[in-house]
Amino acid sequence: MTASNTRPGTTGGADVPGPLHGGPDDDYTPEQLAALPREELDRLGARYDGVEILHVEPGPEPGSALEKRAVRQVGTMFALAGLSAFAFVVVYAGAGWFLPNWEWQLGSSTWSVLYTPLLGLTMALAFTFFGVGLVLYTKKLLPHETAVQDKHDGSHFDRVTTGATLVGGLHNSGLKRRKLITRSLAFMGGGLGLMLLAPLGGLIKNPNRGNPLGTTSWAEGVRLVRDDGTPVRPGDQEPGSLETVFPAVPGGNRQTDAATMLIRLRPSQQADASFRAGQEDFGYGDYVAYSKICTHAGCPVSLYEQETSRILCPCHQSQFDVTQGAKPVFGPATRSLPQLPIAVDDEGFFVARSDYIEAVGPTYWNRERI
Amino acid sequence: MARTATAPGAPKTLAGRAALEVDDRLIVAGPLRRTLNKVFPDHWSFLLGEIALYSFIILLLTGTYLTFFFQASMTEVVYDGSYAPLRGVEMSIAYASTLDISFDVRGGLLIRQIHHWAALLFMASIVCHMLRIFFTGAFRRPRETNWLIGVALLILGIFEGFAGYSMPDDLLSGTGLRIMSAIILSIPVIGTWAHWAVFGGDYVGDLIVGRLYIAHVLIIPAIILGLIAVHLLILVKQKHTQFPGPGRTEHNVVGNRLFPTFAGKATGLLLVVFGVCAGLGGLVQINPLWLWGPYNPAQVSSASQPDWYVMFLDGSTRLFPAWDIYLPGNYNIPALFWPTVVLPGIIFTLLLAYPMLERKLTGDTASHHLLQRPRDVPVRTSLGLMAITFYVVLLLSGANDVIADKFDISLNAMTWIGRIGLIILPPIAYVLTYRICLGLQQHDREVLEHGIETGVIRRLPHGEFIEVHQPLGPVDEHGHGQLAYGGAPVPKKMNQVGGARRAIRGFFSPIEEPRAVELEQRGEERGLAPADPHRELTSSGRPSEGGRPSEGGRPSEGGRPQEPRD
Ligand code: HEM
Ligand code: FES
């Protein structure tokens, strides 16, 4: 109605509207609405939305001490928020320009240590002052009104008429009678569904091929080396100590299943040490080697308590006794740590005599079978 | 231009004309008015869901920022960034780029830490929100759908968080991933196949960080976003629940309109949540992963705990006994399977099904829009506390090594305390809660019947001492109150029914005249006898929150609503 129509052949939206279903525009003419004060219009609209304003407690008297005080408070909050925000920008942009550099340096000036906290503090203050100011504003300066809104359950009329439309459409489609169509549709749906899922097959791989879970890089003659690659010989370690060793293959120290603990038993430990059946000769002198991968959930077990001969897994506190073939003696682990059979090669360095004879790491469904 | 400016009601201001132009095209005035007029109940516990929403917004914003710098690749590189202690160390690109965010991106550490804190807050507020829904019965018909969506959000949140803190490929996250790998392996029959599908092979491979990344930044957030949208749409359709109180019925909502009051407060809350996260992110260090070092399968940091929302699973894993089940044919079900797959499966199934279970067991299939006070539904409340106790034992057990260390208890003792506590504490919690609920109920009824204890002792002519009780409403010939319990809080202190003057306003110095306050209050408490010190209050009990009269103008009384305020 505010537009002028310059194109012949169109009505520019100015033609006669179709029959309406009635509504507020029929109830109130523009003249009537224009005659109503704003508060009335507000309440009128609310009433159309099922909302009744029960009571309004006006905000503080304009010009009163109470109002002045509230305005001062809110204004202070907003100003402080602005100040903090600008402070953030100054710290952020100023570092390395007119402020010391922000970049972290080992044991250096306090500034680089303060940079992130200062950013966080100024940003926190900016947001919080703004938020608190806003809440104070609504609490102290806005009128407090209490409103009630009606809650409607679903409309019977809507349900019946919508149902009729839906059922009508279904009826017109004749799908109920035209069996060939419904059946071919179902067939097609199944096919399309499978087709869309099929590419996920790319994710599926056979875990049993090559037995990757049951084997590691340990093999006959593979040396036991430290993380830095140096080989170990008997006598390098104090009795009662533990060293983590890896197979001497490329990348052996980063393999997830190869880490092994080489332990030198104290004479007293060795005296009452027992081993799993058939594994009595897996050690070498007072040396034994056990897998470092916890049989519970695969964490590296790492805390060796000499006095109790126990190795503790930090993840769920399973404890393994090195004098009993690394049997779990406490906690959720169920199986002993697998033992690596070791020997010493011609040059006097520790080597493996074979791979582990069982799968290392956590238990799984068919572990016993491979 | 047609001279329509003079037509009645035509906008005269620039803003008005612009609004008309917009509405001519988009026809939004109607829906907008309906939105602005929507009434929101005014109770603090309704803010918990909002806090979840706002922290999710923070997560979206900060997370997007982090994607500018994070590189989800497991290719090994030699680090040469600003953090000297790790220079020259081999690590994955993922870890190196996280170090870069922390040390070489200006303000990057702040954003990274805000992101992590917001995630903790998000999960915490969802859980608190859920507890309020549970204990007040807000999940009952017709709101079961929103309950289901809520639980789905909770579960998705756990996965999202786990994926998030596993991506940087540091020593701590690698340990978590290692355990996740073992959990997948532990599933009977399909475990190894599932592991190969997720990791693309044996642990760890070089795919998993990339896969976690796409799940963390696209798949899960998209689902969460969609579910939140549906959650809120349903909420708008169904409207809010509310606590019972004067004038509040099953067919209305009493409170503030969205605009401006609720919008003002909600925006205020949003900003405060932003502020809290920014403050935590800047001032409180979280996950300083440069201290952990890059992931190395042969190393572990002691006291390696997951984020708190995963900790209950860590706890259940620690407590579960070493029970592998061996089946014929040399198959076995690993002990790990029960506490990490079956237990959470049961917990979340029960949680999802609770509204349906309660409907079945109580036979209550009606629609409810008025909330219940926990004491009035003792069985549900006690079940809830039982569940919370179970959960807290698991949660604490997730940190039992830290507790053992701090309090010098043996680790084995902690494990046994957890195992036994898990079984006997929940029933104790049930019984205690049940008793407390009944006690509170009884006290409510007593106050309604005999009135509030005034603390005034009177000596009767024959020497007996009695305490004067202030009836809350009309009394019968025996002096017994006739008010029925309506499911709303019953005032139990004299100043909750206006028996004491409100405090004079002013912080350092009073800003109002005590006399004026008294006059004002006398006007408000219309119907009370003039201020003589021995007045007997006879007004009906005013539901009270924190000692102040609640809003909710009491339309039921027909009189002028009294002092609505929040
Ligand atoms: C991303 C997480 C979530 C967000 C952003 C969220 C947001 C919200 C918001 C803003 C409300 C309205 C305010 C309120 O009543 O507190 C609400 C209501 C509701 N929420 Fe959530 N929520 C989330 C998770 C949950 C969870 C975990 C549950 C339960 C398991 C849940 C169940 C409900 C129900 C049943 C309602 C309607 C109850 C009423 O109106 O009183 N929500 N949600
Ligand atoms: S991984 Fe070692 S106890 Fe769980």
Neighbour-count burial of A134, counting CB atoms closer than 10 A to its CB (0-12 exposed, 13-18 middle, 19+ buried): buried
With a cut of 60, say whether residue B248 has pLDDT above it. Answer: yes
Domain spans of chain A?
Answer: 24-57, 65-149, 157-191, 222-352
Question: Is A222-352 in CATH node 2.102.10.10?
Answer: yes
Residue of B25, B179, B240, B415 to mutate, testing the A interface (most A Cβ within 10 Å of its Cβ) = B179
Does A209 contact chain B (CB < 8 Å)? no
Which residues have a Cβ under 8 Å from the Cβ of B110 and sit 6 or more positions away?
Answer: A116, A119, A120, A123, B278, B281, B282
The answer to whether B314 contacts A205, with C-beta atoms less than 8 Å apart, is: no
The chain-wide mean pLDDT, for chain B, equals 88
Q: Among the ranges A57-71, A311-325, B209-223, B247-261, which has the highest mean pLDDT value?
A: B209-223
Is some CB atom of chain B closer than 8 A to the CB atom of A54?
Answer: yes
Using one digit for the tens of pLDDT, what is the confidence trace for B365-385?
999 999 999 999 999 999 999
Whether chain B has a CB inside 8 Å of the CB on A203: the answer is yes
Residue type, B112: R
CATH number of the structural domain spanning residue B241: 1.20.810.10
User: Is the pLDDT reported for residue B564 higher than 60?
Assistant: no
Q: Yes or no: say if A310 and A369 are a contact pair by the CB < 8 Å rule.
A: no
> pLDDT tens across A147-174, in order?
999 988 788 999 999 999 999 999 999 9
**CA–CA separation, A49 vs A44, rounded Å?**
9
Determine the Cα–Cα distance for residues B178 and A301; give it in Å rounded to an integer. 13
For B491-501, b/e burial (b = at least 16 CB within 10 A) is: bbebebbbbee
Q: From atom 1 of ligand 2, which residue's Cα is the shortest distance away?
A: A297
Instruction: State the Cα–Cα distance between residues A84 and A12, nearest whole angstrom.
Output: 53
Residue B474 — pLDDT band, cuts 50, 70, 90? confident
Within a domain: B101: yes
Segment holding B331, helix H or strand E:
strand B331-333
- Contact with chain B for residue A69, Cβ under 8 A: yes
pLDDT of residue B523: 59
> What's the mean pLDDT in A49-60?
91
Judge whether B87 lies within some domain. yes
Percent of chain A with pLDDT over 90: 73
Q: Is residue B510 part of a domain?
A: no
Per residue in B56-87, pLDDT (tens digit) is 999 999 999 999 999 999 999 999 998 989 99
Contact in structure between A259 and A250 (CB atoms under 8 Å): no
Contact B9/A207, CB-based, under 8 Å? no
Q: Which residue bears the tokens 């499911």?
A: B487
Closest partner CB to B179 (pick from A33, A244, A298): A298
Q: pLDDT tier at B42 (50, 70, 90 boundaries)?
A: confident
Give CA torsion, residues B480, B484, B486, B489, to 10 deg: 0
- Residue B44 belongs to some domain of the structure: yes
Contacts of residue A250, defined as CB under 8 A and 6 or more positions apart, other chains included, come to none
Domain that holds residue B121: 33-295
Domain count, chain B: 1
From the list A29, A204, A246, the residue facing B193 with the nearest CB is A204
pLDDT band at B10 (very low <50, low <70, confident <90, very high): confident
Q: Work out which ligand 2 atom sits closest to the CA atom of A299.
A: 1
Q: For residue B56, which ligand has an atom nearest its CA?
A: 1
Output the CA B44–ligand 1 centroid distance in Å. 14
d(CA B338, CA B325): 11
Per-residue pLDDT of A258-279, as tens digits, reads: 999 999 999 999 888 899 999 9
Instruction: Flag whether residue A213 sits within 8 Å of chain B, measured between CB atoms.
Output: yes
More confident residue, B468 or A199: A199
pLDDT-derived band at A10, boundaries 50, 70, 90: low
DSSP result, A168-235:
HHHHHHTTTT-HHHHHHHHHHHHHHHHHHHGGGGGG---TTTT-TTT--S--TTPBEE-TTS-B--TT
3-state secondary structure (DSSP) of residue B359: helix
Q: Identify the residue whose C-alpha is closest to ligand 2 atom 3.
A: A316
How far does the CA of residue A36 sit from the closest CA of chain B (Å)?
10
Q: In 3D, which of B249, B152, B159 has the Cα closest to residue B487? A: B249
Query: Does residue B387 fall inside a structural domain?
Result: no
Q: What pLDDT was estimated at residue B566?
A: 35
Tell me whether residue A159 is exposed, middle or buried, using C-beta atoms within 10 angstroms of its C-beta: 0 to 12, 13 to 18, 19 or more. Answer: exposed
Q: Which atom of ligand 2 is nearest to the CA of B182?
A: 1
Task: Quote the pLDDT of residue B138.
Answer: 97
Element (H, E) at B344: helix B343-362
Residue bearing the CA closest to ligand 1, atom 11: B49
Q: What is the pLDDT of residues B165-196, one digit of tens each?
A: 999 999 999 999 999 999 999 999 999 999 99
What pLDDT sits at residue A245?
A: 96
Residue B348 within a domain: no
Contact B197 A125 (CB under 8 A): no
Nearest to A367 among B2, B322, B332 (CB): B332
- pLDDT bin (cut points 50, 70, 90) of residue A306 is confident
Is B352 a member of any domain?
Answer: no
State the pTM of this model: 0.89
Asked if the Cβ–Cβ distance from B179 to A121 is below 8 Å, we say no
What pLDDT was estimated at residue B507? Answer: 74
Check residues B554 and B19 and name the one with the higher pLDDT: B19
What are phi and psi for residue A194, nearest 5 degrees?
-60, -40
In which band, very low, low, confident or very high, does the pLDDT at B6 lie, cut at 50, 70 and 90? low
Q: Give the ipTM.
A: 0.92
Query: Is there a contact between B322 and A153 if contact means CB atoms under 8 Å apart?
Result: no
Q: Provide the 8-state DSSP code for B84.
A: G
The backbone torsions φ and ψ at residue B205, rounded to the nearest 5 degrees and listed phi first, read: 65, -170
Ligand found nearest the CA of B122: 1
Burial of B89 (0-12, 13-18, 19+ CB in 10 A): middle
Residue B66 falls within a domain, yes or no? yes
pLDDT value of position B542: 37
Within B170-256, where are the H helices? 171-185, 191-199, 208-214, 220-238
Q: Which amino acid is at B513?
A: E
pLDDT in tens, B306-352: 899 999 999 999 999 999 999 999 999 999 999 999 999 999 999 99
Query: What part of B 309-368 touches A (C-beta under 8 Å)?
Result: 314, 317-324, 326, 329-336, 339, 367
> What is the predicted pLDDT for the residue at B1?
41
Contact B275 A66 (CB under 8 A): no
The CA radius of gyration of chain B, in Å to the nearest whole number, is: 30
pLDDT for B491-523, tens place per residue? 888 878 877 666 777 777 777 777 777 776 665
Q: pLDDT value at position B561?
A: 35
**pLDDT over 60 (residue A1):** no
